[in-house]
Structure 1
């Protein structure tokens, strides 16, 4: 399935995952996660998702943090409970993280109940997002949605921040699509693109930078907003671009980038920001739940990555570099 078609089918993929997760969570005891320190881990896009999930746990008063899977491979006792994210459940590093921490309560979120990661965990929640493409679209957003529903249950939340997400996905994708022709012109032939956000949006920025790298092969990197102001933005100019997520200091950053002649995309919930000569604004609905906001915010970046991929003549081009040691082999494919 093509990258653009998987982006477009996210409303259905998210609706299916919502229904599946709701059914599973109705009978799931999450007490093994109700511990003093919760780690959330993954690699690649799943680590970007882990940053968003950890931020939601923190927002709910939990001591939680995102930790890279490779940092747990040594078996250090770094957390009391661990949530492992991996769409197919075959990431070697994430599997090692769960296996090396047997004393912690372990929950895995994958789309395969028979995957190595699912089998290594005490609890497993299965996604129902259907097929995904490279780069990931439905896998990333479905993982966030399922993790968000887990966070709600763990916190005893009665409000449901995710029931409306499938419908919102269609609305936001349609709104963002209306800005892509303009962004395609402004972001043409960029030598590098930075992606910037704060808190949970740092995870969104990380995922956006990965999408741009994978889809268009343009060098891209992610930065925390305040860190970005302390030097990293110094290299940006008329030959580069910046993608910004947020409604705080990010607004002035967007204005400043336009003043220095650098094209920028601002994905924001803020009112009153308008397109400029080089600034493109995509206003999105606001959610009090940071995971729901992370899902809403990433749609524009997915479409931008597809636009840049098409412009580079790389539409649905397969990865050039395939590593032999990053996934547990699938015996069914042998």
Structure 2
């Protein structure tokens, strides 16, 4: 059965819980029979919400490997004609295993190549999978913490097993890397949290795998801080959306490229910028200027580990920001919106696909 715990507790428990998730995922991968992913084929990630955000990282990494992939909003697939097959392989992601849209979308796809990633693979998601990869039934918060970071870890392990991208050395060290990030980022996140709590809106930008981090941070801000927030691809941000910023906007940028040059423009307009980057300070034109907060991250992090670290920073910002606000992170204003199927013992006892 799913277990919800407070955000702070879930966030701080990630090193221990990610180690458990790693064990669970390796066990399921060892037991799985996976169809080979061949050049010229397409992988489709099917998810909603935070899980859909994580899919941007998988698409970016696959594209860097020269492999075609698309991140599909599950509800959009429900509008397709019967028999529509947008990919050759599918990764269906639902942390709860009970999100109706991914389940309904997967049910309409041809059996045989539907891999599921879930914290509860024995929930209703089991009905629509050919291979189930479980995160281990981790205790998580209402605003996902460990479920999200564990999903990114699952992608790294999955690509290793299908022979597409060997898991980098730091994938096995994710629990300790997260533990270090929770300590190293805490002080700077406290300052950014105060900025965020006082903002009228928060724009979040990134590209590649870091676009997943931008999307997830923006979602957490809306869910947890009840502030208008929107993610943008870095280059897309320059094509109009940037015009809406004011000095009460906070811009958070994840990246080492075009993101570095935005500071001059934003700071000149009185807009504070938080730059989460692996670039050295010497490469940042506005380093040292008032209004710019630089959050340095390790340039050696591998493609899935970097967005995990970026997300841990985002989680810390959220935890510090809400301390300035008159409501808790765990209090949602709108519930019972049909985003989850009712949890039933019968569904949880379904046999898992191999």
* Bin for the TM-score computed over the shorter chain: over 0.9
Partner of 1:168: 177
Question: Structure 1: any 5+ residue segments left out of the alignment?
Answer: none
Tell me how far 1:223 sits from its aligned partner: 0.2
**Partners of 1:161 and 1:82 in 2: how far apart?**
26
1-structure distance, mates of 2:289, 2:178 = 26
274-283 vs 218-227, greater mean Cα deviation: 274-283
CA contact (8 A) 2:213 2:307 kept: yes
Report the counterpart of residue 291 of structure 1 in structure 2: 304
The aligned runs of 1:191-206 (5 Å cut-off) are 191-206=200-215
Secondary structure of 2:295's aligned partner: strand
Q: Secondary structure at the match of 1:243?
A: strand
CA distance in 1, matches of 2:168, 2:314: 28
Given that 1:84 and 1:108 are in contact with CA atoms closer than 8 Å, whether structure 2 keeps it comes out as yes
Shift of 1:127: 0.2
Q: CA deviation at 1:118?
A: 2.7
* Counterpart for residue 75 of structure 2: 70
1:42 counterpart residue number: 47
> Conserved in 2, the CA contact under 8 Å of 1:32 and 1:81?
no
**Cα distance between partner residues in 1 of 2:231 and 2:168:** 32
1:269 aligns with 2:278: yes
Which segment is superposed worse, 25-34 or 294-303? Answer: 25-34
Structure 1 counterpart SS, 2:204: strand
Give distance in 2, aligned partners of 1:318 and 1:232: 30
Could you say what the CA RMSD is over the residues aligned between the two structures, in angstroms? Answer: 2.0
Encode CA deviations 1:24-52: one digit per residue, 9 max, x unaligned.
22232321655711101210000001111
Q: In structure 2, what is the equivalent of residue 279 of structure 1?
A: 292
Asked if 1:99 corresponds to 2:107, the answer is yes
TM-score w.r.t. structure 1 length? 0.94
- Rounded to whole Å, the distance in 1 between the matches of 2:132 and 2:338 is 24
Corresponding residue for residue 148 of structure 2: 140
Q: Is the 8 A contact 2:143 2:220 kept in 1?
A: yes
1:6 and 1:105, CA in 2 relative to 1: closer, same or farther beyond 3 A? same
1:230 matches 2:239: yes
> Out of 20, 27, 35, which is 1:23 matched to?
27
Match of 2:321 in 1: 308
Alignment counterpart, residue 59 of structure 1, candidates 39, 46, 64: 64
1:249 aligns with 2:258: yes
Distance in 2, matches of 1:327 and 1:7, equals: 23
C-alpha separation in 2, matches of 1:32 and 1:85: 19
Partners in 1 of 2:37 and 2:174 — Cα distance? 25
Distance of 1:104 and 1:250 partners within structure 2:
42
For 1:6, the equivalent position in structure 2 comes to 10
1:285 shift after superposition: 1.6
Contact 1:254–1:264 (Cα < 8 Å) also in 2: yes
SS of match in other structure, 1:266: strand
Q: Is the 8 A contact 1:55 1:65 kept in 2?
A: no
Contact map agreement 1:32 1:106 (CA 8 A) in 2:
no
Higher relative contact order (CA 8 A, sep 6+): 2
User: How much has 1:164 moved relative to structure 2?
Assistant: 1.4
Change over 3 Å in CA distance of 1:156–1:226 after alignment to 2 = closer
Equivalences, count: 334
Question: Whole-Å Cα distance in 2 between the matches of residues 135 and 307 of structure 1?
Answer: 15
Structure 1 equivalent of residue 350 of structure 2:
none
